[in-house]
Amino acid sequence: MSTAYALTHPASGAVQVPPHERIVLPNGATLIVVPRRDVPLVAFQAVLRGGPVCDPLVADESGCLAGVASLVAGLLEKGAGDRDAFAFADAVEGAGGNFSVTPGSEALSISGQYLARDQHLMIELLADALLRPRFDAGELEKLRARRIELIKATKDSDPADLIGIYGRAQLFGSQHPFGHPIGGSEASLAAVTHEHVLTYYADHFGADRLILVVAGDLDVPSLRRQVEDAFGGWRPAGVPLIRLMEPLRAQGRRVLLVDSPESAQTYFWLANVGVSKRYRQHAALDLVNTLYGGRFTSMLNTELRIKSGLSYSARAGFSRGTVAGEFAIRSFTDTANTRKALDLSLDTLARLKQDGVTNDMLDSARAYVLGQYPLGFETAADWAGALAELEFYGLDARYIDHYDAMLRAVSLQDARLVIDDAFPHPDDLTVVLVGDAKKIRRVARRYGPVTVMSITQPEFVPGPRARRSAPLPQQ
């Protein structure tokens, strides 16, 4: 059951997966151990397959009660085993550690870092949280109320942070789990009951869903014993893991205008469905996206920031899951320059699609990606995250070990292929604008039929009152 990887001597500069041990327990839990002794810390990354894509389906137009998985995740540290919420926090932070639960779209990720002397406590807390959470009803009430208020606070101080949530709801729609807000909305959170939480836990928590990577200054034999004791007897999840449908690419353009009165800038997000994590040409994709919107001198940032001074930042990128996530362009500009910045964004995408990239550009992107790559694999916590990700997507060590060689092999032809295949045509984009509707709604209509909603609405989709307007004729 166990595989030990030998340390190979990498070519200069190439990142290689470090020696580690992988154990699959009889109940399906996967354990990976990576010893590393540079600083007296241990880190873990636990991934529980499922996450928000398993939020319960409902019959209404939202399609889903979003936010259940996210609340379950938040409640894991609000009392578990012998400890109530306060005692749990005291134990974690008393050791100087942290216990951070992040709902991704297809998994719940739990990570933490502790002093090496507290290795045993770290595993005890994790096992309690996963196997013996209390799900106290009072804690649910508190957490839910707070989450709702935090969404409102984000609307006041960082509206751009929410734009992708509005955008994914438009792009993937209510019928695909990627269209549902991972953390829920003000309205959906308010509808979550204690029963939803308990059912979610029974259905979607279990050993067969668990990947646990522990890395750092470890006592390996005692860690292995403790993990086997702690997780070896865990039951499997109550239901099989759902398989996601491959989302469909959107045809044509439509615009959602989220009205934030008095907003000084327009924040925008232009997207379509992209490709999955297992995309075969991922090295070429990384190079082309670096050139288009992934670094400071990218085509997009050159146009919107460096040459025109329209924006502080313009980026583009792919979010890739077990199925395709979105390719999205994100930027913002002074309200008065909304049209100029949107046109420039579309023009650069059209230029990429039409002219492609040159060999010189590819060489520059290759050097950049190769040069920055090792910085993502520096610490034990970095490796815990990286190995958990490989395991989650069913990729092997070659995904990292051969990345260098794959980047070096990318040709102009490969780049052309991904430009045609993965990057959307500028006429096929879902557009979200967050800004002052009274100033930009006419501009918005240049880009497609517009739906307007207020940023204070408690959902991330327009309510039944929203109306759509026809696009302006092209001038």
Partner 1 sequence: MNAIASATPSSPTTAPGREIIRSLTLANGLKIIVWPVRNIPNVALYNWVRAGSRNEAPGITGLAHFFEHMMFNGTARRVAGDFDRLMEARGGANNAFTSDDVTVYQDWFPRDALELIFDLEADRIANLAFDPEVIESERGVVASERRLCVDDNNHGHLAEQVQAAAFLAHPYQFPTIGWPADIQSWTLADLQKFFRTYYAPNNQTFVVAGDVSPEEVFALARKYLEPIPRQAAPDPVRAREPEQAAERRVLVRRNGQTPLLQYAYKAPAAADARAPALNLLISILVDGDASRLYRELVENRKVIVDLGGHWHEGFDPALFWLYFTLPEGGDPDLVQPIIDAELARVARDGVTAEELRRAKSMAAVAFWKKLSTIDGKAQLLGEYEIFHGDWAKLFSAPEELERVTAADVNAVARDVLAVNRRTVGVLIPDPQAEGEPAEDNAELEEA
Contacting range for partner 1; rule: CB under 8 A; set: 198-206, 231-239, 256-264, 389-397: 256-264
Site residues for partner 1, window 95-154 (CB under 8 A)?
95-98, 113-117, 119, 142, 145-146, 149-150, 152-153
Cβ(160)–Cβ(328) below 8 Å: no
55 vs 118, which CB is nearer to partner 1?
Answer: 118
Site residues for partner 1, window 372-401 (CB under 8 A)?
372, 374-375, 377-381
Given candidates 1, 195, 243, 470, which one binds partner 1 under the rule CB under 8 A?
A: 470
Site residues for partner 1, window 167-206 (CB under 8 A)?
none
Q: Give me Rg for the CA atoms of the chain.
A: 23
- x/- mask, partner 1, residues 6-45, rule CB under 8 A, reads ------xx-----xxx-----------x-x-xxxxxx---
Q: How far is the CB of 166 from partner 1 (least distance, A)?
A: 15
259 vs 286, which CB is nearer to partner 1?
Answer: 259
Q: For residue 379, give both structure tokens.
A: 């610490």
Site residues for partner 1, window 303-322 (CB under 8 A)?
305-312
88 vs 172, which CB is nearer to partner 1?
Answer: 88
Given candidates 355, 467, 474, 475, which one binds partner 1 under the rule CB under 8 A?
A: 467
193 vs 297, which CB is nearer to partner 1?
Answer: 297
By CB under 8 A, residue 334 contacts partner 1 = yes
Q: How far is the CB of 216 from partner 1 (least distance, A)?
A: 8
**Gap between the terminal Cα atoms of the chain:** 66
Given candidates 237, 275, 422, 452, which one binds partner 1 under the rule CB under 8 A?
A: 452
Longest dimension (CA), the chain: 72
Contacting range for partner 1; rule: CB under 8 A; set: 122-130, 329-337, 401-409, 418-426: 329-337
Cβ(40)–Cβ(217) below 8 Å: yes
63 vs 81, which CB is nearer to partner 1?
Answer: 81
Report the DSSP beta bridge partners of residue 329.
270, 316
**Centroid of chain to Cα 132:** 27
- x/- mask, partner 1, residues 422-441, rule CB under 8 A, reads ---------------xx--x
Burial of 178 (0-12, 13-18, 19+ CB in 10 A): buried
Q: How far is the CB of 91 from partner 1 (least distance, A)?
A: 9
273 vs 310, which CB is nearer to partner 1?
Answer: 310
Site residues for partner 1, window 39-98 (CB under 8 A)?
39-42, 77, 85-86, 89-90, 92-98
Cβ(399)–Cβ(124) below 8 Å: no
Query: What are the two backbone dihedrals, phi and then psi, of residue 320, each rounded to the nearest 5 degrees?
Result: -120, 125
Contacting range for partner 1; rule: CB under 8 A; set: 121-129, 202-210, 365-373, 411-419: 365-373
How many of the chain's residues bind partner 1 (CB under 8 A)? 102
DSSP 402: T
Contacting range for partner 1; rule: CB under 8 A; set: 155-163, 171-179, 201-209, 422-430: 155-163
18 vs 236, which CB is nearer to partner 1?
Answer: 18
**C-alpha distances out from residue 415 to 285, 358, 466, Å:** 7, 9, 41
Tell me if residue 8 falls in helix, strand or coil.
Answer: coil
Cβ(332)–Cβ(267) below 8 Å: yes
Given candidates 57, 296, 396, 421, which one binds partner 1 under the rule CB under 8 A?
A: 296
Tell me which H or E stretch contains 22: strand 21-24
Q: For residue 462, give both structure tokens.
A: 């327009």
Nearest to 280 by CA among 429, 456, 414: 414
Query: What are the two backbone dihedrals, phi and then psi, of residue 153, each rounded to the nearest 5 degrees?
Result: -65, -35
Cβ(129)–Cβ(76) below 8 Å: yes
Report the DSSP beta bridge partners of residue 432.
256, 269
Q: What order of strands is seen across the sheet that includes strand 254-259?
A: 314-320, 324-334, 265-273, 430-435, 254-259, 450-454, 468-469
Q: How far is the CB of 89 from partner 1 (least distance, A)?
A: 4
